[in-house]
């Protein structure tokens, strides 16, 4: 068996997307996938702009199908990869590449395993051009060297990794459904209840009547003793790219010394954490474990003992909060945004009853999230061993 490497283009076809005109986008029609919709490891079609059927005539080359592999070809997230997980027809926008196995769709699982391995995005960046913003061509992606396996080995490796990916995706979809159920219950309890005015005892006031606001900070980056410890440290990137209700792991960690000698602090489990500035202002998660965070986020801790009711409330109110808090470049949320907010404040007893109903739902979401975290760790550990032949599927 040879350990040689071959260009990715040997086993895969890489096609860049079509330059749709911005004036042609509408609210109805087929989704058009841009870089922002790639949320590793899936592609979020719900967030897409759309194009009418008459504008895609003759563009079958750019039509996307379930399980297609997409990669960002430009920008800060160049090389990020996701897979379409929908039967809804969609189309590929410029600066996004579709990567397909030349040997047929049954080999796509192997190709995805290769291009989604840790560090592959660095190889993409190394093949990119441009000083202000990195850009990679389809040829540049195709030049990246990958392990040379026989067709039979490709299928075996692809099947093993796909089994893990499919379970992770199943958990994601289940969590999406469960959160939709919780939000529907919230609407029924607290929004539909106001059709005839505020129920007795309810009032209008700031969200901080039911929550305590917590802030974060960043240990000095030049102090090595502050970093790579045992304490998860969440940034706006972690929150905005989480893609699910709960955040349970972070890109960076800090030490106890870094915690004690900086402005950051430990944020309790089940706090709702919101990105406060930048392009992703308003994105939010629930902390699935106690962790620290940086100053680009705010955490809200329920003071009524109803953290999930608070999260549901913030989901409903966040667009309005962001729109009323304008920064110089991007929308910015400040302490005044929360202090000056005007939201419906139900009775504490009503919140507690609602919490009893939705708490099992959110704890199921958290359990699925933790399981997926374990599966991702297993995948990240196993895949390089399979690709280096340190471990074989037959083992």
Indicate whether 60 and 198 sit together in one domain.
no
Please report the sign of the dihedral spanned by the C-alpha atoms of residue 315, residue 316, residue 321, residue 327: positive
pLDDT tops 80 at residue 3: no
Q: What six digits make up the tokens of 97?
A: 């590449």
* pLDDT given for residue 343 in this prediction: 93
Indicate whether 214 and 314 sit together in one domain.
yes
In a domain, 345, yes or no: yes
Indicate whether 185 and 119 sit together in one domain.
no
In a domain, 98, yes or no: yes
Q: Report yes or no: 386 and 157 within 8 Å, Cβ to Cβ.
A: yes
Range 283-298 average pLDDT: 97
Produce one character per residue of 2-12: b if its CB has 16 or more CB atoms within 10 Å, e if not: eeeeeebbebb
Indicate whether 199 and 60 sit together in one domain.
no
In a domain, 395, yes or no: no
Indicate whether 133 and 260 sit together in one domain.
no
Structure confidence by residue, pLDDT tens digits, 362-387: 999 999 999 999 999 999 999 999 99
Domain with residue 10: its CATH number is: 3.90.220.20
In a domain, 167, yes or no: no
Structure confidence by residue, pLDDT tens digits, 114-126: 999 999 999 999 9
- Give the separation between CA 301 and CA 369, rounded to whole angstroms: 21
Structure confidence by residue, pLDDT tens digits, 54-94: 999 999 999 999 999 999 999 989 999 999 999 999 999 99
* pLDDT given for residue 332 in this prediction: 85
In a domain, 274, yes or no: yes
Structure confidence by residue, pLDDT tens digits, 6-21: 999 999 999 999 999 9
The Cβ-side half-sphere exposure at 202, using a 13 Å CA radius, reads: 17
* pLDDT given for residue 326 in this prediction: 58
Indicate whether 187 and 324 sit together in one domain.
yes
* pLDDT given for residue 102 in this prediction: 98
* pLDDT given for residue 54 in this prediction: 94
Q: First and final CA of the chain: distance in angstroms?
A: 16
Phi, psi (deg, nearest 5) at residue 4: -70, 160
Of the chain, the percentage scoring pLDDT greater than 90 comes to: 88
Total tally of structural domains belonging to the chain: 2
Name 149's Cβ contacts closer than 8 Å, sequence gap at least 6.
Answer: 110, 157
Indicate whether 102 and 195 sit together in one domain.
no
In a domain, 271, yes or no: yes
Indicate whether 126 and 181 sit together in one domain.
no
Indicate whether 204 and 332 sit together in one domain.
yes
In a domain, 74, yes or no: yes
Structure confidence by residue, pLDDT tens digits, 162-209: 999 999 999 999 999 999 999 999 999 999 988 888 999 999 999 999
Q: How remote is the C-alpha of 53 from its chain's centroid?
A: 29
Strands 284-287 and 246-247: parallel
Phi-psi region of 59 (alpha: psi -120 to 50; beta: other; left: phi over 0): alpha
In a domain, 190, yes or no: yes
Last residue of a domain, one of 130, 147, 164: 147
Indicate whether 129 and 182 sit together in one domain.
no
Structure confidence by residue, pLDDT tens digits, 85-144: 999 999 999 999 999 999 999 999 999 999 999 999 999 999 888 656 789 999 999 999
DSSP secondary structure string for all residues of 37-70: GEETTEE-GGG-EEE-GGGGTT-GGGEE-TT-EE
Of 164, 44, 170, 150, the closest CA to residue 109 belongs to 164
Indicate whether 132 and 210 sit together in one domain.
no
Length of the chain: 395
Indicate whether 270 and 337 sit together in one domain.
yes
Please state, rounded to an integer, the average pLDDT across all residues of the chain. Answer: 94
pLDDT tops 50 at residue 1: no
Q: What six digits make up the tokens of 95?
A: 């600066």
Range 322-330 average pLDDT: 63
> Angle between the 348-387 and 151-186 helix axes, to the nearest 10 degrees?
170
- The domain containing residue 350 runs over which residues? 176-365
Range 240-267 average pLDDT: 96
* pLDDT given for residue 330 in this prediction: 55
CB atoms within 10 A of CB 383: 20
């Amino acid at each position: 068996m040879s350990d040689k490497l071959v260009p990715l283009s040997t086993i895969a076809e890489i096609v860049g997307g079509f330059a749709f005109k911005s004036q042609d986008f509408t609210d109805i029609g087929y989704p058009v996938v841009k870089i922002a919709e790639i949320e590793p490891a899936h592609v979020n079609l719900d967030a897409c702009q759309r194009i009418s059927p008459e504008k895609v005539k003759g563009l079958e080359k750019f039509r996307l199908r379930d399980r297609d592999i997409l990669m960002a070809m430009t920008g800060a997230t160049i090389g990020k990869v996701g897979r379409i997980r929908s039967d809804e027809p969609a189309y590929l926008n410029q600066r996004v590449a579709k990567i397909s196995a030349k040997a047929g769709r049954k080999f796509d699982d192997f190709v995805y395993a290769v291009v989604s391995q840790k560090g592959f995005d660095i190889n993409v960046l190394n093949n990119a051009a441009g000083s202000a913003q990195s850009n990679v061509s389809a040829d540049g992606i195709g030049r990246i060297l990958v392990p040379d396996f026989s067709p039979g080995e490709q299928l075996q490796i692809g099947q093993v990794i796909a089994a893990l990916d499919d379970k992770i995706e199943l958990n994601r979809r289940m969590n999406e459904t469960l959160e939709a159920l919780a939000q529907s219950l919230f609407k029924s309890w607290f929004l539909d209840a106001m059709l005839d005015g505020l129920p007795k005892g309810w009032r209008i006031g700031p969200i901080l009547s039911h929550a305590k606001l917590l802030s974060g900070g960043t240990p000095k980056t030049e102090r090595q003793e502050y970093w790579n410890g045992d304490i998860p440290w969440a940034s706006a990137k972690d929150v905005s790219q989480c893609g699910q209700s709960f955040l349970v792991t972070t890109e960076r960690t800090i030490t106890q010394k870094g915690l004690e000698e900086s402005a950051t602090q430990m944020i309790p489990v089940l706090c709702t954490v919101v990105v406060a500035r930048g392009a992703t202002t308003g994105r939010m998660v629930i902390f699935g474990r106690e962790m620290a965070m940086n100053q680009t986020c705010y955490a809200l801790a329920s003071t009524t003992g109803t953290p999930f009711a608070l999260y549901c409330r913030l989901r409903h109110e966040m667009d309005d909060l962001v729109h009323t808090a304008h920064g110089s470049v991007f929308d910015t949320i400040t302490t005044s945004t929360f202090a000056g907010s005007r939201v419906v404040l139900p009775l504490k007893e009503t919140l507690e009853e609602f919490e009893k109903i939705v708490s099992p739902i959110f704890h199921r979401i958290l359990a699925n999230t933790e399981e997926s975290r374990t599966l991702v760790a297993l995948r990240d550990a196993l895949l390089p061993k399979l690709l280096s032949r340190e471990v074989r599927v037959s083992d």
